[in-house]
A and B are shown apart, each in its own frame.
Chain A
Amino acid sequence: DAKTTQPPSMDCAEGRAANLPCNHSTISGNEYVYWYRQIHSQGPQYIIHGLKNNETNEMASLIITEDRKSSTLILPHATLRDTAVYYCIVRQYNFNKFYFGSGTKLNVKP
């Protein structure tokens, strides 16, 4: 699987949009981008995933650049409960496993 690079931490004001970047410059054509988050002492929670088109669901939006070398997870109105470590994972279409990188610790502040 392609390697991902994320900033170790970010701050965001409550109510504002949180934009979390992820670089995956070695991504190949059959690899998907997945986002998970982990709130302290809990199991990871699925957020969203995509291949090349932008995706949106009730939790977040995923913006993938045209060359697919980077993506951004957008939480439109961050709340204190969104404080967590956010993991960007690139996984092959026909490969079963998820390998986690170091993630981004998002701190949402009042």
Chain B
Amino acid sequence: GAVVSQHPSRVICKSGTSVKIECRSLDFQATTMFWYRQFPKQSLMLMATSNEGSKATYEQGVEKDKFLINHASLTLSTLTVTSAHPEDSSFYICSARSASGGRNTEAFFGQGTRLTVV
């Protein structure tokens, strides 16, 4: 299947700082990428949909000013956690679907980024 790469895989940051996570589709173009968050022993929660060249759309209850999303190209989306706090510590996962695929194609997921805020 297609490859989606996230960087970094792990990051530790101090409370109050910002952290940027990158999501790249390596062998296909993605007009839409998705960002999820997963707390321990819980399922994935969709945070936002990242649209190439336009603003992201956020799920209800997700603060758009705290989780900044940029989708500047067809192969790269970034999630910036601003003014991070310990409660933002989580596993962040991105996914992407091919721009050339049909509506019923699968989504491919990155390997995830473990964020720890201390």
Q: Establish whether residues A96 and B97, one from each chain, have CB atoms under 8 Å apart when the complex forms.
A: yes
The one of B6, B97, B103, B112 in contact with A41, judged by C-beta atoms closer than 8 angstroms, is B112
Q: Specify which of A41, A44, A51 lies most central, judged by the most chain B CB atoms within 10 Å of its CB.
A: A44
Q: Establish whether residues A41 and B114, one from each chain, have CB atoms under 8 Å apart when the complex forms.
A: yes
Which B residues lie within 8 Å of A98 (CB)?
34, 46, 95, 107
CA distance A32 to B106 in the complex (A): 10
Chain B 34-45, CB within 8 Å of chain A: the 1/0 string? Answer: 101000000111
Of A18-26, A63-71, A75-83, A100-108, the one contacting chain B is A100-108
Q: Establish whether residues B93 and A44, one from each chain, have CB atoms under 8 Å apart when the complex forms.
A: yes
Which A residues lie within 8 Å of B108 (CB)?
46
CA distance A49 to B106 in the complex (A): 8
Which A residues lie within 8 Å of B67 (CB)?
none
Chief secondary structure at chain B's binding surface? strand
A44-B93, A87-B43, A103-B43 as given contacts; A34 in contact with B106, CB under 8 Å: yes
Which B residues lie within 8 Å of A44 (CB)?
44, 93, 95, 109
Please give the distance in Å from A36's CB to the nearest CB on chain B. Answer: 8
Residue of B nearest to A95 (CB): B103
Q: Establish whether residues A43 and B111, one from each chain, have CB atoms under 8 Å apart when the complex forms.
A: yes
Which B residues lie within 8 Å of A32 (CB)?
104
Q: Specify which of A41, A45, A49 lies most central, judged by the most chain B CB atoms within 10 Å of its CB.
A: A41
Residues of A within 8 A of B (CB): 32, 34, 36, 38, 41-46, 49, 51, 87, 93-94, 96-103
Residues of B within 8 A of A (CB): 1, 4, 6, 32, 34, 36, 43-46, 49, 91, 93, 95, 97, 103-104, 106-112, 114
8 A/B residue pairs, CB under 8 Å, sorted by A: A41-B112, A43-B93, A49-B104, A96-B49, A97-B49, A98-B46, A100-B45, A101-B43
